[in-house]
Structure 1
Amino acid sequence: MILLGMGRLIMPDFLEDMRVRSLAFLLGVVALQTLPSLPSGMWALAFLLFPLLFRWSALRPALFFLGGFLWALWRADMLLSSSLPPSLEKKDVQVEGIVASLPERTARGMRFVLDVQRLTHRGKDQAFSGKIRLNTYHDASVPRPGEHLLLDVRLRRPHGFMNPGGFDYEAWLFERHIRATGYVRKGGYRRLGTTLHYPVHKLRERLRRAMEESLGERPEAALMEALILGDRSRLEDAQWQVLRRTGTAHLMAISGLHVGLVAGMAYGLFGFLWRRSGRGMLKWPVPKVAASGALVAAVAYAALAGFSIPTQRALIMVGAASLALLFGRPVFSSHTLALALFGVLLWDPMAVLSAGFWLSFAAAGSILYALAGGRRQGRWWGVQGYVTLALLPLTLFWFHYAPLGAFGVNLFAIPWVGLGVVPLGLLGSALIVPFPSVGEAMLGLGAESLGLLWSCLSWCASLPVWYWSPVPWTLIPAFIGILWLLAPRGWPGRWAGSLLLLPMVFLRPPSPKPGDVWLTLLDVGQGLSVVVRTAHHTLVYDTGPRFSPGFDAGEAALVPYLRQEGVKAIDTLVLSHEDNDHVGGTASLQAQLPIGRLISGASAVFPDAAPCLAGQSWTWEGVRFAFLYPFRVGLKGNRASCVLRIDHPRGSFLLTGDIGKRQEGQLVRQGARLESLVLVVPHHGSRTSSSPAFVHGVHPRYALFSTGYLNRFGFPHPEVVERYRREGAKVFNTALQGAILMRMEKEGFRIKAYREMARRYWHSP
């Protein structure tokens, strides 16, 4: 009671101008995330400014900005201090730790997070602690949450593809505090026992087994696990496609929507019961008891999801709303939202690296905007319309597409899931252990309900999807314009808001001018993919590898890059030969973009493809394309690789696939025009290619290696790299520098490494 009384005195003063202070704190946190490296410890001296800034109320926003910056700096420095030493990468090490997650199924085994307590190399303890993400491929053992394990592993520091428009895997790992990834060596899996750690994950794992036994192989089983437990590892590619194309993927992530619905239902239930409590209602008001019950229910539901990052944010937001009720403040107010924002950033300033952070707060803010002033738009369809339009700029920025039917689909999908499927699933999960038959019946009803919804979503997935890549700065006026358009009736000049949308709709990303050629060597790991653009045409040379049934370079790197560049179709696709590391992403590319012409050195494997042959050529906007090899059809393997030369008045590019020394010798003896400004080095820098005669014949100024980080082949071979350097070439490697962007224009030639352009302090060197 004393604390409650103190809270009543403190909260009003704390909430005063909380909106400005929270936004200032947010800007400080975001400012740190834009830095390529962390500033020195001298920034700690900025604390000396706090008394000065606090003294004048007009300067307090600056105080909160500085506080946000320093808070994020301290947390980031703590995370980076637990990084894996580079000397231990790819080395056999032994780790001892506790399973800290709900293990996920993969196409080849299991994946889980281990909280490392000890790491040794050759019997010596190493200075490393923290969380690592491991895969098991050979061992049939299934890790259990809370188990104490001793594992022989190979690790590497967080590293992912670095391409324009691509997913920042390193930021994703950093946000989740994971400081290394790797795999368990064959025969290196040993259980030391069980612990009391991670009881929530133990409960989730037990419930997952019970749900699997109850639902069996029903197609809705994976969807139910995602909705109730937050485990999306069993969702198939086809299911993800339906969710993305209908704009309902957010329903499969336990986030603010689900936690809010559960809290709302619990609020109503506790309020209903407490009103019948008699004297208790006189001592403790119904709203405060109901708010406490709602918070408990939200905590329980978030626990089922393993307190994942999205549920942590949602839980803090529910907690802020509950505090508002306890202290007599309006629940649906901008002050409450600002308090939730401040709480989320205090809990984890790295949350701003997630798209979910921005989408969840933008959605909550748009709901408040829709409900402000008792507008007619406060009806369900009006609120949903506000949310859909308000999130449009952010959706296009993060994902480069917007399903045109998302508004209508979500009108019925959200209440169907939130008021039907989720309550049935939660009741079934709660009862399946003590009362198996009742729990199974409830889960079955939830699955049946979800199956009906899924039939509707599958049909809606055929509706058009708007793919668009806005110029980043246009999103700010677009967001302001949407708020202006949706302002209350009587707001002057609401139509003018539409003018602020015009830059986002009509401004296109930069593209080559007539006579220019842009070439991008994408970072696709151990493989190859090149995009060549002229003023009105696009050529793709190879599509990178396929790593697993659900993951390939076409989906992860090539298509996102093309979307960001505003490319709507591929004029020519060249598949140099049939190796997986060159053609693994083809199916994903064909599924998402129209392709005009297909050419391949392995036309027997690709029957729809025309063969590439020396002498074939064409010209696009003054840029000449010509095949130099092969000299005949019917070849197989690396020796079938298409060698493509691209000529511009200022220089040439040479793309060589995986040709070996014999094929290089044929090109040299035939007197082919080899000398080029830029060479994409044959076979990723293998010693079986790049013969001295070929290197001298090409005499490149820039030698580009497309390789995977710490790949098992050891590409590029140091001897080959040195050979190009002796020839006077400047060497680039996608494994270390990300995508290589080149522009051949009338003004000259430019080459940049994307990892350096987009570097943030969490990226590996």
Structure 2
Amino acid sequence: MPPLCAWEGPFSAPGRPRPKSPPLLLATPALALGLLLSFWETSPFLKALLLGTSLLLRRPTVPLALLLGLLLGSWHLQKDRNLFLKTPQVFSGKILEEKASFGGTLLEVQTRKGRGQILARRIPPECRAGADFVARLWPGPRGFLNPFSPTLSESLLAQGLRFRLRLKNSRDLECFPRKSRGISALRARLYGFALGLSPEARGLFSALILGEKVFLEEDFRERITRLGLFHFLAVSGFHLGLLYGLIFWATRNLLSRLWSFSGIPVQIPAALAGLFSAIFYAALAGFPPSAERALAMLGLFTLSRIFFRRVSGWELLAGAVVLLLFLKPQEVLSVSFRLSVAAVAGILLAHGLLKGRLPQRRLLAWPLEALALSLGAWAFTLPLVLYYFGEAALLGPLNTLLTFPLWCAILIPGELLCGLLALISPGTATPMAETLGHLAGIFRNLPLPSPVLRPPWPVGLFSLALASLLASLVLFFYQRRSAALFSCGLFLLLSALGWGARERVFYLLVSDIGKANAVAVHLPGNQGVLFDAGARFGNFEAGRYVLRPLLKKLGFPDPKLVLLSHPDLDHTGGLPALKEDYPLRKVLSGAFRPSSWRPLGEIPEALKKPMVLSLERAQIFLLPGRPAPPARLENRESLLSFLEYRGLTVFFPGDADRERLLRLLREGALLPSEVFILPHHGAASGLFAPAWEALKPRVALASARGRKHPHPAVRRWLKVHGIPLYETAREGALTLFVRGDQFLLCPEKRLRKGLPKELLWPYIPYVVSGEYCEAYELHTLRDL
């Protein structure tokens, strides 16, 4: 049995009494659970069951808080249900904020239909924060729905938004400017100041002062994320606490000589000055969730100072969480909010562990305490970071300790002073901002260690296993031996399930990546194959921002083989981003002209004649087209593939058209296939009835998006022949599993109803009912 399951250790304290939990500490998780159950729209039976179970705890605050969360969440969900358009409509209201976005501008607006966002490539110069507007808006992007990613509805709800719409033409937006006042005017001035800086300085200033990270250079963002230091760039409790402490210390020292009001301690005005400074800073940053949580804690801490009450850190955290969830119930869905709460909980626990265990010498105690607190925050946020981002910096606590003086003493205070000067004298602030940006550039090149941890199996099981391990250690420290033993056993069980998913499970995942192709196949023995590599759409690299994080969260192995059907960027554009994380030793495609691969930056290995590849119990049949076709015929000459695994056959036709399918039919090269991935995303050019009939498909899948993908003629043909059609645009990612003499097809959208079942991915299709996955028979000789 591993050491964590042994009950003798450095934290053992047989004589320590078990602490009693204050009612607020019990009510906080119950309130959050009630809100989550409402926002997940779980069944009334499950809600009633949990509510009834909570009554058995003999703690009245728990069922009351749970019931309050259920009622508050249900009311809020009905009041702010997302608004999705099918046709363009006219909206009017007020522009609240203007932000930079990928390839354009994002306007946050308030209308009669609620708060929302407008995405635009260009906007008229008069359309700034504070202006009234009238606009003709179109349905916005639907987002991408893949395993372990939030739905668009959940993302909007977490931000307190009802809609995200699109402005097609700047002429469809008319604004009536008003003079900005207050914080909006100050933010507009700081935003204009940031635009005049160099890219390095602009990114740092915007992140630390305005809370906007879109201006950060991509390599700087990647570097600081791998170092585990991204928390330095997020306006959070660290920054507000630092400012609060500096203002408190300065005000107290100043007023201690000038304060003349007897009976009122100088700490009261000092604490109020620190709080108001923190509120002002958070307002300039746009009140991000991490800052709101910190402000709530600082406000409660200030009240305790004013009324001379001693309040524990846990009570401050619980009070802040309850206050925020009452004011903004949707915050319980926010990734930033969850990470903030988890980080503070880890710091508080680490602080409790350090009591009486630090050396007496301050020069030795301070670094050890800083490292331990950073390690506590890292450990408590690790499962969440892995789940949401697919990787985590292994040496984040150490790098935090090493770079703490630079950020705490120079960069963050320097940017705060620079922001103040930018409001008073922009000419004076510009050299300072450029110097700080240059320092950040030097920091980026420091030889700091940056190994990352990635899930070795699907991240849901891996995060649950890590959370169970962490719970076991915490319960062990608090002498809850039975509960700690249960958590330890759960950790071992989840780890065994994860290892089984890694080594024994077959799945085929058609990712939701827009009108593009990227299919990942995981074979037993932890081997992976990629059919196409995602897309690059102008400024947006879907391969980098959608496919690569998805593969990380799946615990996908280094692909043994990547098959590119043809050079179009909707099939190959994600390859450069994938190569940053995966070796991609063998990349195959057809024999296309070298000039066709120029946008990709490399030429894959060319296949000129049919080939059969064997991997574990799978076989892949490759059928290249005619060599060196002209550019207009490259779709036709796509590299076609058949995958066969335990009786399941899947056909990947790339963008082949009817003429290519006719040639295959005449050559007898079409194999009966249970799964038919529609050619060219379901375009009419790939519809050739004799070839499709020869395939005898059980289902047709379309990695597509748009009114004519799949084409109406394709839909009609499939409907007439009784072949079910599954589309990523409507169902999200599509996953196939093999079970006995059947294969299961599980649309991602169906798995999102109720509790987060994807935590047990990829095992959930084997245990849930047919409501979530459809079962189809494999072909037999009688069928063929």
TM-score where L is the length of structure 2? 0.83
The answer on whether the counterparts of 1:102 and 1:201 sit within 8 Å (CA) in structure 2 is no
CA distance in 1 between partners of 2:591 and 2:165 (Å) = 34
AA matched with 1:257: F
Deviations 1:310-359 (CA, angstroms, capped at 9, x unpaired): 32222222222222222323354211111111112112121122222222
Picking from 366, 384, 395, the partner of 1:394 is 384
Which range moved further: 662-671 or 328-337? Answer: 328-337
Equivalent residue, structure 2, for 1:248: 229
Equivalent residue, structure 1, for 2:298: 318
Q: Secondary structure at the match of 2:417?
A: helix
Equivalent residue, structure 1, for 2:690: 693
**Cα offset, 1:78, TM superposition:** 1.0
Q: Does 1:579 align with 2:568?
A: yes
Equivalent residue, structure 1, for 2:520: 531
Which range moved further: 534-543 or 398-407? Answer: 398-407
Equivalent residue, structure 2, for 1:464: 451
Alpha carbons of 1:647 and 1:382: their partners in 2 closer, same or farther (altered >3 Å)?
A: closer
Deviations 1:133-191 (CA, angstroms, capped at 9, x unpaired): 223225563731111222233224x7221111335444222211232223323252554
Equivalent residue, structure 2, for 1:665: 662
The answer on whether the counterparts of 1:696 and 1:727 sit within 8 Å (CA) in structure 2 is no
Equivalent residue, structure 1, for 2:542: 553
Alpha carbons of 1:333 and 1:135: their partners in 2 closer, same or farther (altered >3 Å)?
A: closer
AA matched with 1:23: P
CA distance in 2 between partners of 1:241 and 1:169 (Å) = 25
Q: Secondary structure at the match of 2:560?
A: strand
Alpha carbons of 1:320 and 1:696: their partners in 2 closer, same or farther (altered >3 Å)?
A: same
Picking from 262, 272, 276, the partner of 2:243 is 262
Q: Secondary structure at the match of 2:498?
A: coil
Alpha carbons of 1:444 and 1:236: their partners in 2 closer, same or farther (altered >3 Å)?
A: closer
AA matched with 1:20: L
The answer on whether the counterparts of 1:131 and 1:180 sit within 8 Å (CA) in structure 2 is yes
Q: Does 1:725 align with 2:719?
A: yes
The answer on whether the counterparts of 2:590 and 2:624 sit within 8 Å (CA) in structure 1 is no
Q: Secondary structure at the match of 2:185?
A: helix
* Equivalent residues in 2 for 1:295-334, closer than 5 Å: 295-334=275-314
**Cα offset, 1:631, TM superposition:** 4.9
Equivalent residue, structure 2, for 1:207: 190
Equivalent residue, structure 2, for 1:100: 96
CA distance in 2 between partners of 1:167 and 1:27 (Å) = 18
CA distance in 2 between partners of 1:400 and 1:218 (Å) = 28
AA matched with 2:581: Q
Deviations 1:664-717 (CA, angstroms, capped at 9, x unpaired): 111112122332111001111111112211221112110111112xx2x52112
Alpha carbons of 1:411 and 1:647: their partners in 2 closer, same or farther (altered >3 Å)?
A: same
The answer on whether the counterparts of 2:289 and 2:336 sit within 8 Å (CA) in structure 1 is no
Alpha carbons of 1:198 and 1:523: their partners in 2 closer, same or farther (altered >3 Å)?
A: farther
Which range moved further: 434-443 or 579-588? Answer: 434-443
Q: Secondary structure at the match of 1:624?
A: strand
Equivalent residue, structure 2, for 1:714: 708
CA distance in 2 between partners of 1:614 and 1:354 (Å) = 52
CA distance in 1 between partners of 2:318 and 2:700 (Å) = 52
* Equivalent residues in 2 for 1:475-554, closer than 5 Å: 475-483=466-474, 508=498, 510-511=500-501, 517-536=506-525, 537-549=527-539, 551-554=540-543
AA matched with 2:100: E
Alpha carbons of 1:718 and 1:496: their partners in 2 closer, same or farther (altered >3 Å)?
A: closer
Alpha carbons of 1:111 and 1:494: their partners in 2 closer, same or farther (altered >3 Å)?
A: closer
Q: Does 1:344 align with 2:324?
A: yes
Alpha carbons of 1:614 and 1:78: their partners in 2 closer, same or farther (altered >3 Å)?
A: farther
Picking from 181, 186, 198, the partner of 2:169 is 186
The answer on whether the counterparts of 2:39 and 2:77 sit within 8 Å (CA) in structure 1 is no
CA distance in 2 between partners of 1:145 and 1:601 (Å) = 52
Equivalent residue, structure 2, for 1:12: none
Q: Does 1:172 align with 2:166?
A: no
The answer on whether the counterparts of 1:152 and 1:188 sit within 8 Å (CA) in structure 2 is no
The answer on whether the counterparts of 1:707 and 1:715 sit within 8 Å (CA) in structure 2 is yes
**Cα offset, 1:571, TM superposition:** 0.5
Equivalent residue, structure 1, for 2:144: 161
AA matched with 2:37: A
Equivalent residue, structure 1, for 2:618: 623
**Cα offset, 1:590, TM superposition:** 1.3
Deviations 1:94-145 (CA, angstroms, capped at 9, x unpaired): 32222112321533x322222224xxxxxxxxxxx12332232255637311
Picking from 666, 672, 675, the partner of 2:672 is 675
The answer on whether the counterparts of 2:624 and 2:640 sit within 8 Å (CA) in structure 1 is yes
AA matched with 1:70: L
The answer on whether the counterparts of 2:563 and 2:587 sit within 8 Å (CA) in structure 1 is yes
Q: Secondary structure at the match of 1:557?
A: helix
Alpha carbons of 1:242 and 1:602: their partners in 2 closer, same or farther (altered >3 Å)?
A: farther
**Cα offset, 1:558, TM superposition:** 2.3
Alpha carbons of 1:727 and 1:420: their partners in 2 closer, same or farther (altered >3 Å)?
A: same
Alpha carbons of 1:420 and 1:168: their partners in 2 closer, same or farther (altered >3 Å)?
A: farther
Structure 1: which 5+ runs fail to align? Answer: 1-14, 118-128
Equivalent residue, structure 1, for 2:74: 73
AA matched with 1:177: G
CA distance in 2 between partners of 1:730 and 1:63 (Å) = 47
AA matched with 2:235: I
Q: Secondary structure at the match of 1:141?
A: coil
CA distance in 2 between partners of 1:704 and 1:308 (Å) = 40
Q: Does 1:380 align with 2:370?
A: yes
AA matched with 2:304: A
Picking from 579, 600, 605, the partner of 1:610 is 605
Report how many residues are paired. Answer: 710
Deviations 1:414-446 (CA, angstroms, capped at 9, x unpaired): 443233222222222223333445444554554
Equivalent residue, structure 1, for 2:582: 593
CA distance in 2 between partners of 1:649 and 1:431 (Å) = 69
Alpha carbons of 1:24 and 1:745: their partners in 2 closer, same or farther (altered >3 Å)?
A: closer
CA distance in 1 between partners of 2:395 and 2:59 (Å) = 46
AA matched with 1:225: S
CA distance in 2 between partners of 1:473 and 1:451 (Å) = 37
CA distance in 1 between partners of 2:583 and 2:542 (Å) = 18
The answer on whether the counterparts of 1:388 and 1:407 sit within 8 Å (CA) in structure 2 is yes
**Cα offset, 1:222, TM superposition:** 1.2
AA matched with 2:145: M
Equivalent residue, structure 1, for 2:409: 419
Equivalent residue, structure 1, for 2:701: 704
* Equivalent residues in 2 for 1:424-463, closer than 5 Å: 424-440=414-430, 442-444=432-434, 446-456=436-446, 459-460=447-448, 463=450
Identity %: 24
AA matched with 2:203: A
Q: Does 1:757 align with 2:751?
A: yes
Alpha carbons of 1:278 and 1:182: their partners in 2 closer, same or farther (altered >3 Å)?
A: closer
Deviations 1:615-667 (CA, angstroms, capped at 9, x unpaired): 21112223221023425454642112111111234231111111111111111
CA distance in 2 between partners of 1:487 and 1:385 (Å) = 19
AA matched with 1:610: E
CA distance in 2 between partners of 1:513 and 1:402 (Å) = 23
